[in-house]
A and B are shown apart, each in its own frame.
Chain A
Amino acid sequence: MLAWIILLPLIGFAFSILFGKKLPKPLVGFIASVVVLGSFLFSIDVFNTVSADPNGISERLFTFLAIDGFNVSFTLFADRITSIMLLVITGVGLLIHVYSISYMSHDEGFYKFFAYLNLFVFNMLILVLGSNLLVLFFGWEGVGLCSYLLIGFWYQNPSFGKAARKAFIMNRIGDLGLLLAIFLCAIYVGSFEFSVISDAAQSGALPEHLITTISILLFVGAMGKSAQIPLYTWLPDAMAGPTPVSALIHAATMVTAGVYLIVRNQALFMLSSSANDLIMFIGLATSLVAAVIALKQNDIKKVLAYSTVSQLGFMFIALGVGAYSAAMFHLVTHAFFKALLFLGSGSIIHAMGDEQDMRRMGGLRKSMPITFITFLIGTLAISGFPFLSGFFSKDEILASAFGHNRWVWGIAIISATLTGFYMFRLLFVVFFGTFRGTKEQKSHLHESPWLMTIPLMILAILSVFGGMLNLPKYAGSLSEKLHHWIEPNLPILRNPVHVSHSIEYMLVGVAIFIFLLAFILQYRKYVLKSAVPEEDNEMSKSALVLANKLYVDEAYDKMFVEPTETLGDYSSWFDRNIIGLIPKSIKGWNTALARLNARVQNGNIEYYLVYMSLAVFLVLFLSAICLKLWN
């Protein structure tokens, strides 16, 4: 059963890449979606199985490698944590596949796009289904590759190719951490199986400093994939890819792989308080910095990208304070509303004829009602409108943070407030006010076809009701369903610090207050006063710093890229002029010698005869001398 889940997308990939070019586009898209639908149905089956039996199911496929008694098997394993990931990947993935059929319908690389999407789903499923670190690493690298391929999908544009390379290289830096963690496990645990590592950590077989080292290295891997400080700069650039890719890979699934990795190795992280603190601080810093940058971005997808970074920061805060179920909960709801927002923005970009600057939009709510309503729901969900999914999931993280430390909560609440600010800015600027684009764009404006709007509607419904999965404590008997459901699969249970009911209500009150604050302030500014974000040359200094993403990219260029390039220049000079001298001179002598020899071979038979006679004479002469000497 588990094998089918990963095999179906692989078959879809093989089909699209081999035959897709010749077949009609809708058929390719249909088959690519059907295989994901198949995986989704199998995932539901897995969900039912693990609901009945929390121990999970495992399927051993073959031996990955066997060296001197060290065996690594290619084993698939699914427990409740995995099954949540499976449903998100295949469910949201299916909707995005369907959406892409229409979104990419004019693209020449249609079949390639769907092949890559299926390959991505295949790798992502391997990532979450692997029962050991090596299988996980296989999927981990696979999704990195697909991310690279899809970011650079429109490779004719050099800057898109550059963004793809940047994403790949930054991910590789994180992957190095993961790889080192895998090596440490091989040396000190002697196995890659998650269960064995977890047992070793709990039984005390692993010394504490090793647990901390492995945890931090795993987290470095998670930093790369999940775009945390300092490795987050690739994610905003990754928006170069087609919008469905941003929704699937860079919002809903791949970037949450880091969260999954940490939840999967919960035992290690629970036993290392310093690793936990590091995760929490990185999460806090990331959520705050990304939210601040998002305030002044004018590219509709860049706002959403920084929002994604910020929300991932929230998940890491939750992981850092030990609220694993809260992190998973936010992962799921975030997958819903962020996929919705990205697909919504795709719908807008589609209607605007590839315009992404929201200063050129405005007033779109009349011409695109379905997109507007679903986008509104997504915005409300992410910024914490009461009783929508984001409200519950973010509140749970905030409550856990409050229970951990007031200061952590204080910083997190600032980021949460900023979420409302940048999202409502986006919403109001794009959908309200007057249209600011060209005449041509205005005449072209249209609601997207139903293949695009239906996924939007489904995701909107999920964004509204996703909170039901894990209602807070005050909901009584319905509360914390998800938490209790995945609890048996978390090796180490720590009773979450419970805050009293009165404080809980106070926290909810604060959450509603900050939502209203953001809503009212932004409504006044962008709707009542109908302000439009400034053009680049009118910006104040501080706004310019934010619009330029705090110059982090430039700083990285100065600190890492340029020194490396300089070193490369020197090395290449050394290689060419010093090392290269040896082969060059050998080559020189040989050429000269060969030239000399070639002159002898002039093709004229008379000369050959002369040489031959001379040679015979020489041989005879020498042999005569030798004979003389001999006797």
Chain B
Amino acid sequence: MSLLEIGFHIFDKVGISNYLFLSVLLFCIGLFGVLYRRNAIILLMCIELMLNAVNLMFVSFSSYLGDSNGQLFVFFIMVVAAAEAAVGLAILVSIYRNTRNTDVSFLDNLKG
């Protein structure tokens, strides 16, 4: 039995609804973190979490439908997420250099 087949077997046994539930749970944790926390580093981590929740959902559906397009998308999202993390951290560093903290609630200079 190849590794792929084992994977499919496990997937069938667990059932897609559990995967989706986990994905939604991860997404909500991420969203809640983004909304609730003020530390910019944690914000970035939460965004990563949300992205990965989406990735998980893509993979689940890809496996469920037997369509490899979903897995292709996951690679794209990983690339974008890496880039985003790099840029986000760079911004964070310069914010920290200017304001000596990473609390986003202090960054309200753009108010109308």
Contact B104 A610 (CB under 8 A): no
Contact A601 B111 (CB under 8 A): yes
A599: min CB distance to chain B, Å: 9
Contact A604 B108 (CB under 8 A): yes
Per a CB cutoff under 8 Å, which of A597, A604, A613 touches B105?
Answer: A604
In the complex formed, the residue of B with least CB distance to A604 is B108
Interface size class of A (residues with CB under 8 A): 10 to 19
Contact B108 A603 (CB under 8 A): yes
For A601, the chain B residues whose CB sits under 8 A away are 110-112
Q: Does B31 interact with chain A (Cβ within 8 Å)?
A: yes
B47: min CB distance to chain A, Å: 10
For A613, the chain B residues whose CB sits under 8 A away are 31, 35
For A604, the chain B residues whose CB sits under 8 A away are 104-105, 107-108, 111
Q: Does B17 interact with chain A (Cβ within 8 Å)?
A: no
CA distance A613 to B108 in the complex (A): 19
What 0/1 pattern do residues 88 to 112 of B give for CB contact below 8 A with A?
A: 0000000000000000110111111
CA distance A601 to B38 in the complex (A): 18
Q: Does B57 interact with chain A (Cβ within 8 Å)?
A: no
Per a CB cutoff under 8 Å, which of B35, B38, B108 touches A602?
Answer: B108
Q: Does B26 interact with chain A (Cβ within 8 Å)?
A: no
A230: min CB distance to chain B, Å: 63
Per a CB cutoff under 8 Å, which of B104, B109, B111 touches A606?
Answer: B104
For A609, the chain B residues whose CB sits under 8 A away are 34-35
For B109, the chain A residues whose CB sits under 8 A away are 603
Contact B38 A606 (CB under 8 A): yes
Contact A605 B107 (CB under 8 A): yes
Contact B35 A610 (CB under 8 A): yes
Contact B35 A606 (CB under 8 A): yes
Per a CB cutoff under 8 Å, which of B34, B35, B105, B112 touches A598?
Answer: B112
For B34, the chain A residues whose CB sits under 8 A away are 609
In the complex formed, the residue of B with least CB distance to A601 is B112
Contact B31 A606 (CB under 8 A): no
Q: Which of A578-631 contact B (CB under 8 A)?
A: 597-598, 601-606, 609-610, 613
B34: min CB distance to chain A, Å: 6
Contact A602 B104 (CB under 8 A): no
Contact A606 B112 (CB under 8 A): no
CA distance A598 to B105 in the complex (A): 18
For B105, the chain A residues whose CB sits under 8 A away are 604, 606
Please report whether the interface of chain A is mostly helix, strand, loop or mixed according to DSSP.
helix
CA distance A610 to B104 in the complex (A): 14
CA distance A609 to B104 in the complex (A): 12
A483: min CB distance to chain B, Å: 85
CA distance A336 to B105 in the complex (A): 89
For A605, the chain B residues whose CB sits under 8 A away are 104, 107-108
CA distance A199 to B95 in the complex (A): 91
In the complex formed, the residue of B with least CB distance to A616 is B31
CA distance A305 to B110 in the complex (A): 70
Contact A602 B107 (CB under 8 A): no
Contact A603 B35 (CB under 8 A): no
In the complex formed, the residue of A with least CB distance to B31 is A613
For B107, the chain A residues whose CB sits under 8 A away are 603-605
CA distance A602 to B35 in the complex (A): 16
B67: min CB distance to chain A, Å: 23
CA distance A598 to B112 in the complex (A): 6
B68: min CB distance to chain A, Å: 28
Q: Which of A47-100 contact B (CB under 8 A)?
A: none
CA distance A601 to B108 in the complex (A): 10
CA distance A613 to B35 in the complex (A): 9
Contact A602 B111 (CB under 8 A): yes
For B111, the chain A residues whose CB sits under 8 A away are 601-604
CA distance A606 to B34 in the complex (A): 8
A475: min CB distance to chain B, Å: 93
A620: min CB distance to chain B, Å: 13
For A597, the chain B residues whose CB sits under 8 A away are 112
For B112, the chain A residues whose CB sits under 8 A away are 597-598, 601-603
CA distance A613 to B111 in the complex (A): 19
For B35, the chain A residues whose CB sits under 8 A away are 606, 609-610, 613
B23: min CB distance to chain A, Å: 16
For A603, the chain B residues whose CB sits under 8 A away are 107-112
In the complex formed, the residue of A with least CB distance to B109 is A603
CA distance A601 to B109 in the complex (A): 11
In the complex formed, the residue of A with least CB distance to B108 is A603
For A598, the chain B residues whose CB sits under 8 A away are 112
CA distance A198 to B105 in the complex (A): 88
In the complex formed, the residue of A with least CB distance to B104 is A605
CA distance A335 to B97 in the complex (A): 87
A392: min CB distance to chain B, Å: 86
For A606, the chain B residues whose CB sits under 8 A away are 35, 38, 104-105
For B108, the chain A residues whose CB sits under 8 A away are 602-605
CA distance A604 to B106 in the complex (A): 8
A334: min CB distance to chain B, Å: 74
The 5 sampled A-B contact pairs (Cβ below 8 Å) are A601-B112, A602-B112, A604-B104, A604-B105, A606-B38
Residues of A within 8 A of B (CB): 597-598, 601-606, 609-610, 613
Contacts beyond the supplied A603-B108, A604-B107, A609-B34: 20 A-B pairs with Cβ under 8 Å: A597-B112, A598-B112, A601-B110, A601-B111, A602-B108, A602-B111, A603-B110, A603-B111, A603-B112, A604-B104, A604-B111, A605-B104, A605-B107, A605-B108, A606-B38, A606-B104, A606-B105, A609-B35, A610-B35, A613-B35
- Top 10 closest pairs, chain A to chain B, by CB: A603-B111, A603-B108, A601-B112, A603-B110, A604-B108, A598-B112, A602-B111, A605-B104, A609-B35, A610-B35
